[in-house]
Each structure stands twice: as C-alpha cells, then as structure tokens.
C-alpha cells in the first residue's frame, strides 16, 4: 500500500503550483471583461507580482522535475498532475503580461 502514496517529492510538486497559483491571484491586479472592448487589467503590474510569479514558476518546474527524476511511481504520477497545474499557472501568469491596462470605468 505504501507504494501507491506519494512521498514528500510528489506532494510538494502538487501543492506548490496550486497554493502558489491561488496566492498569485490574490496579489495580481483585477481583470475586467467589457463587452466590445475585450479583456483588460485595472492597474499596472508591480515588480513584486512579477518576482513572486517567477519564483513560483521556477519552483514549480523544479519540483516537477525532481519528482520525475528521483521519485517512485506515485511521485511520477503526482508530478504529471503537478505539470498540469504548473502549465495552467504559467498560462495565467503570461496572459497577465499581455493584457492592456485601462482605468476602471467606475
């Protein structure tokens, strides 16, 4: 039964992008969807948001690689799931950089 439960490598690989992604959403500027104008952000992205997002991205990729390199089968499975969470976080992180900045209409 022990071989089906991931070790700390697998758990770290899954928890890091999930918690980091939610924390990134807390500190990122608000996004607006306006009919006819598309999507934009309310304010500029501060350097602390970029640094935090970059650190979470690097740590998540490193945790995924570590779980694949030295982990058991359960760690590799957890690493595969963590890769999906990491890719969704990276998509969110890089899409934030491409959005235009417009002041809030209110």
Q: Tokens 């209409």: give the residue.
A: 105
DSSP 56: H
Residue 103 lies in a domain: no
Q: What is the pLDDT of residues 45-100, one digit of tens each?
A: 889 999 999 999 999 999 999 999 988 899 999 999 999 999 999 999 998 888 88
Q: Range of 12's domain?
A: 2-98
Residue 32 lies in a domain: yes
Contact 45, 96 (CB under 8 A): yes
Is 101 in a helix, a strand, or coil? Answer: strand
Number of domains in the chain: 1
Contact 83, 33 (CB under 8 A): no
pTM of the model: 0.84
């Amino acid at each position: 039964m022990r071989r089906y439960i991931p070790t700390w490598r697998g758990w770290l690989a899954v928890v890091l992008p999930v918690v980091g992604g939610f924390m990134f959403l807390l500190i990122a500027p608000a996004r607006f969807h306006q009919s006819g104008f598309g999507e934009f952000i309310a304010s500029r992205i501060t350097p602390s948001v970029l640094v935090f997002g970059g650190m979470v991205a690097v740590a998540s990729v490193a945790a995924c690689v570590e779980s694949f390199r030295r982990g058991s089968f359960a760690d590799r499975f957890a690493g595969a799931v963590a890769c999906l969470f990491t890719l969704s976080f990276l998509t969110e992180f890089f899409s934030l950089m491409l959005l235009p900045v417009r002041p809030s209409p209110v």
